[in-house]
A = this chain, B = another copy of it.
Amino acid sequence: MSNPQSKVDVLIIGAGPAGVMCANGLARAGVNVRIIDKRPAKVAAGQADGIQPRTIEVLQSYGLADALLSQAAQMHMAAFYNPSPTGGIECTGRAADVNAPTARYPFEATLHQGEIENIFLNSMRKEGVEVERPMIPTSLELSTDQTELEDPQAYPVKVVLKRLDVEGEANNTEVVHAKFVLGADGAHSWVRKTMGVTMDGEQTDYIWGVIDMVPSPETDFPDVRNRCAIHSENGSCMIIPREGDKIRLYIQLTNADVVDPATGRVDMNKFGPDKLLEVAKKSFQPFIMSTTPDKIDWWTLYIIGQRVASKYSIHERVFIAGDACHTHSPKAGQGMNASMNDTHNLIWKLTYVLRGWADPSLLKTYEFERRKYAQDLIAFDKEFSALFSGKPKSEGYADGVSHQQFLQAFQTHGGFTSGINVHYVPSAITSAVYQSAASKLTIGQRLLPQTILRAADRRPVEVQDLCPADTRFKVLVFTGDMQDSQQHARVETFAAELSREDGFLNTNVIAQAERAYDVMSILKGKKEEISYRDVPEILRPHWSKVLLDDVDQTGTKGGKMYETYGVGPEGAVVIVRPDGYVGMVCPLDQVKSLDNYFAGFMKSP
């Protein structure tokens, strides 16, 4: 008797942050997707917990930020503690936790990983997709037939799946033929190993412990609700405030603390949260940091590895993402963010290829963009971990890490740790030729948040909310002042060019224009004078698509978009990719360049 066979467009292995982000995004885009996980239930405690400002923007682009923010704690302030001349530690300074002036959400959010995954599980459930668990892949074969590999509608990946909660191969085994497979199966990725992808980099000597707990009432440490970086003579600690009254403690350990001298290995069974807390208590002196066993949620030990996968895909048919691609220190709160942003980058590309809209070569940009990011992340992590794990500077140890040194590194890397400065360099989907047309809006970075008025009802809205992750390219047309006759003529010419039958709006993905492109116009003018009907009809597919760069009725919001983006009175076009990154910018007389940009990866009928 042969096992059941089935077909699926995308099979996702692993339902951690990278996997559920991908499954939800694909499901919402109408892609036929399945997701499996070896765990019988979602994470109940512990694991990752930090969400960067940029990742909150990404969640918002899927309509999921409210679900996060209604539960999460927020870190606005970082406090720094260093050895006091009188013994123990003292607060040597406090500073903004996020150093990224353009962040829409100027704080980090923290919430238990299981709850974050739940936000995606609830969302994908509305699309009829559930995680199948406990289930593992037992074999994965990629066809070697070149024709099949090049045909996006073929099923070149054969995966055997096994249910772990059912006995007998006849009952628990299924053969799946997939167009694409994503391995989002963690640091020890089975998919990565099966595909023979190596990890570049190495382990470090840093050993850390983690405890999630609610401090007891006698705790008198004053910064228990701020992110704290504590350098003591006894070792380093970090506090991450969490949802409710919970906090997370990261505690630096020495080999003597954790390595069993008999075996030379870390023995988790011989260690426990009480011992971890003992180490922490010494670092917190003269402050009291205490809890009781019933208030400890989770704990673990880890040794930092700093490695990046040598490649992110095999023939753009089997991909890996998240921890399967990169491992590093958890202390800058990057892990879950890097993972979710990996698949956020991949979702729209897979969707376009599966819909037959884009050439499969589009998928090459996934590794191109995300592997470079991971390398930057490891470089950052090496510097930051060394500083954080280093001994504090003192009278007896002049080579130690000073408060100033640490604070400076903390602030310098704000753009990176916040996720705000992620920058995709030129490729088929990122064209930086006309950067000067919007000089302050960096092509390859995410669209800068900005409040703008809707022209018809003068309602202030956030431009990022007009550019959701709905798989469409956003075509933002900055018309300038339509009451200026020269500019008016320029816009009329632009609109006529845009309407050409052989222009991108009409040639690519025939009859799908409104599914692929969302056209908006942004007027410059006074809210008391303009009308949304001032722009040519092709630039106002609906009244809500005409925007106005003017200050709102309260005088506190809006009116700074042209200035912030560096767009002059002659206008410009800004193309925002489906993932919210600026793909291209050009002057109004360059419709031909727009055509060429889209022709670079979109298919003609």
Contacts and interface: CB of A to CB of B under 8 A. Distances in A.
Interface of A: 66, 73-77, 93-98, 106-107, 220, 222-226, 241, 245, 454, 456-460, 527-529, 531-533, 543, 552-554
A457 B74 contact: yes
Contacts of A93: 528
Contact of A553 (B96, B245, B531): B96
Nearest to A223: B531
A95 B458 CA distance: 11
A457 B554 contact: no
Interface-central residue, A76, A94, A95, A106, by most chain B CB under 10 Å: A76
Given A543-B225, A553-B77, A553-B97, A241 B457 contact: yes
A71 to B, nearest CB: 14
A76 B225 contact: no
B106 A553 contact: yes
A75 B98 CA distance: 35
Interface-central residue, A94, A454, A529, A553, by most chain B CB under 10 Å: A553
A65 to B, nearest CB: 13
A603 to B, nearest CB: 33
A552 B454 CA distance: 28
Nearest to A66: B66
A452 to B, nearest CB: 13
18 contacts: A74-B457, A74-B459, A76-B457, A76-B459, A76-B460, A77-B458, A77-B553, A94-B529, A95-B528, A222-B532, A224-B456, A225-B454, A225-B456, A225-B457, A225-B532, A226-B458, A241-B457, A245-B543
A553 B458 contact: no
A96 B66 CA distance: 29
A537 to B, nearest CB: 11
A533 B77 contact: no
Contacts of A527: 77, 94
Nearest to A106: B554
Nearest to A454: B225
A219 to B, nearest CB: 10
Nearest to A526: B94
Contact of A77 (B75, B222, B224, B457): B457
Contact of A76 (B107, B224, B458): B458
A198 B188 CA distance: 80
A22 B183 CA distance: 54
Nearest to A95: B528
Given A94-B527, A457-B241, A459-B107, A76 B553 contact: yes
A552 to B, nearest CB: 7
B224 A528 contact: no
Contact of A457 (B95, B226, B543): B226
Given A222-B531, A543-B225, A552 B76 contact: yes
A406 to B, nearest CB: 16
Contacts of A75: 457
A103 to B, nearest CB: 9
Contacts of A220: 533
Contacts of A528: 93-95
A376 to B, nearest CB: 25
Nearest to A456: B225
A457 B553 contact: no
Question: What are the 6 closest A-B residue pairs judged by CB atoms, nearest first?
Answer: A222-B531, A225-B457, A225-B456, A96-B553, A77-B458, A76-B458
A416 to B, nearest CB: 18
A589 to B, nearest CB: 29
Contacts of A531: 222-223
Contacts of A94: 527-529
A338 B3 CA distance: 68
